[in-house]
A and B are shown apart, each in its own frame.
Chain A
């Protein structure tokens, strides 16, 4: 059985819950006090989908998105992007379009999976972005729409299921990875053992 590594970019306005979604997916937990994304710049989780094992590497923005500072490196080799907005804030939804444009500029491949996620459905009563509005937009952009709650966990796993389902049959990242040189610390072997114990 093959193991696939899939890089997923998390995008969206600061404070919409990008990291919370990643946390919910990776650790199945929610940290209410999480203020900004310092410390965890990418997390990974291995899941099994049908006959495939998929290792999701979730790249968080490390705050570089706040003031126009997201580097192209962030998008390199990504298979999917999750653009998050907050359903209680129309402003965060409006900004989604700018992110989508950025993503399309950088990751303009046919296989690229674009997912738009309205977070915070746990506070449905404060909703400001109608689902239909977002749905219409997603259809026009060829994106998948999810409404989820990182707090309750609702629909979070489904996002990644969708990514796994839509992965192209061959990993385009392999295209150049085959011949790259691995420059990592020589203590690598020891680290490997640490992971095994998890």
Chain B
């Protein structure tokens, strides 16, 4: 893309906002909306900063990013040599390794699913293979051009490969060759891809062996997972005759490639959503396919109740994975929601209800009744418990009428209050973990406030208390940035600020300008930036995060499928042993959330960190919820983890008042936290806005409501009346201008 050169850039702004996290973006929108000139920069090439939703490749590169500008200075504040002595340079740090740590990625071995980049060959021809073989190399990084930067991400999978291929390659590979006597006229498009993948795989193998520790780790993972794999072997054979049953082989022989291509063709009809890249060839191959399918798959014709993912599908769909760095549900009654509605930012957003809420009671997953109707129909609670629960619900909804009763419990544990309400152990657990979302020792007033929030949120937009933006949380900052741009904000991504220039006049220090890495200087009256970019130490909250891709939704035992697009699961503290110090929160996204491809689920796990690494914190919960096989057919099979990544996230807290010690026009913004509400974000955004534009309205409704069309469907009747002839040509039937906004004169 060609862009206007830096010379033509305006250089003087009222406010420079550095970083496109949610809080920063809200402030930018509010300022632009108020007629303030804003330059909004981000050093990343995407919007959202620590709140971004990223495609898989972007995500991995982001997490593994090395510091872009290594800090050579011992002191981050330097007096300038060549300028007047009252000027200082305040160097920023862009060292992400402070924010994201202990990244561990697993391509978990499974018998079904996200299959390998390497040539897959169908299963039934080699019935004696072990599951580990087909688990060789899961990789979501299915881009054909595996770059150097992504070696690391495929490394573990390749390890498994090197573990098992030596043993199995020889006896496995020839089998398909002899079995499949299929035509070789095949999909040209897939062939180079496979070759490329293969070569990249081979390339990266040496680099892997370098890292002995990783190797050992992955081996242990492999051993751990062996039992699971063997258990799941029957699933493999019962599986549908699709490609994912296939065995990867590293052999480079062209004949195998060709065979596997014919395998690709076979599996085509079984794919629910045929890939566009493959479709072109399909019609010509249907005939062959029909001939081939019966003969080659007779052994595995048992119908599968749970169609597994196919490699072909995910290979071309991996871009449909959207990884949220900061998964946080939104209460329907959160003031944040009121704000986005009032300011019309919602017109850029779509939301889904979180329509499945689960917690763990007595060691079992249990559906939490959300609405009153749910409470009445719930099988989770008995009739007596329903009455008690309803009493609690009514009490909390009318909290203001019970101030005296509540006050006695202020600064006392919530558990005491729940006892006062005569709630039994089961209900206490239910309320604590799901409704109030608090820990054991939380105070009554906090828990009641949160419970009220939760209960009032039910029924506002749906039967669920929570909302989730389609495409992920990263849409929120983008929506505010768009609003800011509509109101004249200037946007530049991949722009890095090296330092702030601070000038002292008459004893008052002010940030006067910023200098980017290309030595362009931008003047500003205020600078707003994330506190994590500032070198001075600040208090942080450390979270453990995991993101998994699974093949099924989580369901409590004895539950038939529920129509859930998004699920929220809480695992109360100590459920999984004494080491689990905090409640673990899980968000499960279905393909309808647009965060993952069909027949795949994306699971975000979050808790406050108490162990050394995220994996140490979260592996128990992953083992508890996933990969359990059971012979009991009453219990829905547990989802299998196809891919997982663990990391710690350090959320940095800004000083009170959001002011830097160096100058009071440097406004520092907290990193987003993972507490239940968005109130802190909103209050910080409002606070900074009020400092810069005292007395002005924060994100008022758009100026001319007459021009805004919220409901885009004018009655059809109207249009038909206007249309005079319905010929082949396009007939204008009336125009509407959705001028979202109008320029503010100020």
Contact segment of A51-59, A113-121, A130-138: A51-59
* Chain A stretch 138-188: residues in CB contact (< 8 A) with chain B: 157-158, 160-161, 164, 176-177, 179-185, 187-188
Q: Is the CB of B705 within 8 A of A191?
A: yes
Residue on B nearest A112 in the bound complex, by CB:
B276
Among B276, B482, B738, contact of A44 (Cβ-Cβ < 8 Å):
B738
Contact status of A183 and B346, CB under 8 A, knowing A46-B733, A176-B592: yes
Contacts of A91 in B (CB 8 A): 2
Q: Is the CB of B482 within 8 A of A1?
A: no
- State in angstroms the CA–CA spacing of A184 and B565 once bound together: 21
Contacts of B481 in A (CB 8 A): 64, 69, 71
Q: Is the CB of A71 within 8 A of B47?
A: yes
A residues neighboring B (CB under 8 Å): 1, 3, 5, 13-14, 26-28, 38-51, 53, 55, 57, 62-69, 71-74, 76, 91, 94-95, 98-99, 102, 108-110, 157-158, 160-161, 164, 176-177, 179-185, 187-188, 191-192, 194-196, 198
Q: List 11 A-B contacts (CB under 8 A).
A: A41-B485, A55-B712, A68-B494, A71-B478, A181-B351, A181-B353, A183-B341, A183-B461, A185-B710, A192-B710, A198-B734
Contact status of A71 and B350, CB under 8 A, knowing A46-B733, A191-B709, A198-B734: no
Q: Is the CB of A44 within 8 A of B712?
A: yes
Q: Is the CB of A181 within 8 A of B352?
A: yes
Contacts of A57 in B (CB 8 A): 712, 738
Contacts of B2 in A (CB 8 A): 13, 91, 94-95, 98
Q: Is the CB of B740 within 8 A of A44?
A: no
Q: Does B708 contact A (CB under 8 A)?
A: yes
Q: Is the CB of B711 within 8 A of A47?
A: no
Contacts of A188 in B (CB 8 A): 710-711
Q: Is the CB of A43 within 8 A of B478?
A: no
Additional A-B contacts beyond A43-B736, A71-B481, A74-B482 (16; CB < 8 A) = A1-B720, A38-B488, A38-B743, A44-B738, A48-B719, A63-B491, A66-B4, A73-B47, A95-B1, A108-B319, A181-B467, A184-B347, A184-B711, A188-B710, A191-B708, A195-B709
Among B3, B319, B482, contact of A41 (Cβ-Cβ < 8 Å):
B482
Q: Is the CB of A67 within 8 A of B3?
A: yes
Q: Does B421 contact A (CB under 8 A)?
A: no
- State in angstroms the CA–CA spacing of A5 and B5 once bound together: 37
Tell me which of A44, A69, A182 has the highest count of chain B C-beta atoms within 10 A of its own C-beta.
Answer: A69
Residue on B nearest A23 in the bound complex, by CB:
B737
Q: Is the CB of B471 within 8 A of A183?
A: no
Q: Is the CB of B478 within 8 A of A73?
A: yes
Contacts of A43 in B (CB 8 A): 736-739
Q: Is the CB of B461 within 8 A of A5?
A: no
Contacts of A161 in B (CB 8 A): 729-730
Q: How many residues on chain B are close to A (CB under 8 Å)?
A: 80
Q: Is the CB of A98 within 8 A of B1?
A: yes
Residue on A nearest B471 in the bound complex, by CB:
A76
Q: Does B594 contact A (CB under 8 A)?
A: yes
* Chain B stretch 317-342: residues in CB contact (< 8 A) with chain A: 319, 337, 340-342
Q: Does B188 contact A (CB under 8 A)?
A: no
Q: Is the CB of A176 within 8 A of B485?
A: no
- State in angstroms the CA–CA spacing of A47 and B726 once bound together: 10
The majority secondary structure among interface residues of chain A is mixed
Q: Is the CB of B730 within 8 A of A44?
A: no
Q: Does B381 contact A (CB under 8 A)?
A: no
Contacts of A108 in B (CB 8 A): 276, 319
- State in angstroms the CA–CA spacing of A39 and B740 once bound together: 7
Contacts of B376 in A (CB 8 A): none
Q: 6 nearest interchain CB pairs?
A: A69-B491, A67-B492, A62-B485, A161-B730, A73-B478, A41-B486
Q: Does B70 contact A (CB under 8 A)?
A: no
Q: Does B78 contact A (CB under 8 A)?
A: no
Q: Does B735 contact A (CB under 8 A)?
A: yes
Tell me which of A50, A51, A67 has the highest count of chain B C-beta atoms within 10 A of its own C-beta.
Answer: A67
Contacts of A110 in B (CB 8 A): 276, 279
Contacts of B475 in A (CB 8 A): 73, 76
Contact status of A42 and B738, CB under 8 A, knowing A1-B716, A68-B3: yes
- State in angstroms the CA–CA spacing of A196 and B736 once bound together: 10
* Chain B stretch 484-506: residues in CB contact (< 8 A) with chain A: 485-488, 490-495
Complex interface bits, B336-379 against A, C-beta within 8 A gives 1, otherwise 0 = 01001110101111111100000000000000000000000000
Q: Is the CB of A196 within 8 A of B479?
A: no
Q: Is the CB of A68 within 8 A of B45?
A: yes
Contact status of A39 and B741, CB under 8 A, knowing A14-B4, A195-B736: yes
Q: Is the CB of B712 within 8 A of A180?
A: no
Q: Does B742 contact A (CB under 8 A)?
A: yes
Residue on B nearest A184 in the bound complex, by CB:
B710
Q: Does B72 contact A (CB under 8 A)?
A: no
Q: Is the CB of B350 within 8 A of A177?
A: yes
Residue on B nearest A185 in the bound complex, by CB:
B341
- State in angstroms the CA–CA spacing of A14 and B3 once bound together: 8
Complex interface bits, B451-481 against A, C-beta within 8 A gives 1, otherwise 0 = 0000000000110000100110001001101
- State in angstroms the CA–CA spacing of A119 and B439 once bound together: 62
Contacts of A66 in B (CB 8 A): 3-4, 490-491
Q: Does B579 contact A (CB under 8 A)?
A: no
Q: Does B718 contact A (CB under 8 A)?
A: yes
Complex interface bits, B6-17 against A, C-beta within 8 A gives 1, otherwise 0 = 000100000000
- State in angstroms the CA–CA spacing of A91 and B597 once bound together: 38
Q: How far is the CB of B495 from chain A (nearest CB, A)?
A: 8
Q: Is the CB of A195 within 8 A of B714?
A: yes
Q: Does B706 contact A (CB under 8 A)?
A: yes
Q: Does B723 contact A (CB under 8 A)?
A: yes
- State in angstroms the CA–CA spacing of A28 and B461 once bound together: 39
Q: How far is the CB of A15 from chain B (nearest CB, A)?
A: 9
Contacts of A99 in B (CB 8 A): 1
Contacts of B577 in A (CB 8 A): none
Q: How far is the CB of B394 from chain A (nearest CB, A)?
A: 25
- State in angstroms the CA–CA spacing of A79 and B696 once bound together: 39
Contacts of B3 in A (CB 8 A): 66-68
Q: How far is the CB of B460 from chain A (nearest CB, A)?
A: 9
- State in angstroms the CA–CA spacing of A76 and B322 once bound together: 13
Contacts of B462 in A (CB 8 A): 181
Q: Does B728 contact A (CB under 8 A)?
A: yes
Q: Does B189 contact A (CB under 8 A)?
A: no
- State in angstroms the CA–CA spacing of A114 and B324 once bound together: 29
Q: Does B732 contact A (CB under 8 A)?
A: yes
Contacts of A179 in B (CB 8 A): 352, 565, 592
Q: How far is the CB of A192 from chain B (nearest CB, A)?
A: 5
- State in angstroms the CA–CA spacing of A152 and B726 once bound together: 25
Residue on A nearest B47 in the bound complex, by CB:
A71
Residue on A nearest B487 in the bound complex, by CB:
A38
Q: How far is the CB of A185 from chain B (nearest CB, A)?
A: 6
Q: How far is the CB of A84 from chain B (nearest CB, A)?
A: 14
Q: Is the CB of B348 within 8 A of A45?
A: no
Q: Is the CB of A181 within 8 A of B728?
A: no
Residue on B nearest A95 in the bound complex, by CB:
B2
Residue on B nearest A180 in the bound complex, by CB:
B350
Tell me which of A27, A91, A192 has the highest count of chain B C-beta atoms within 10 A of its own C-beta.
Answer: A192
- State in angstroms the CA–CA spacing of A49 and B730 once bound together: 5
Q: Is the CB of B739 within 8 A of A40?
A: yes
Q: Is the CB of A64 within 8 A of B730?
A: no
Q: Does B211 contact A (CB under 8 A)?
A: no
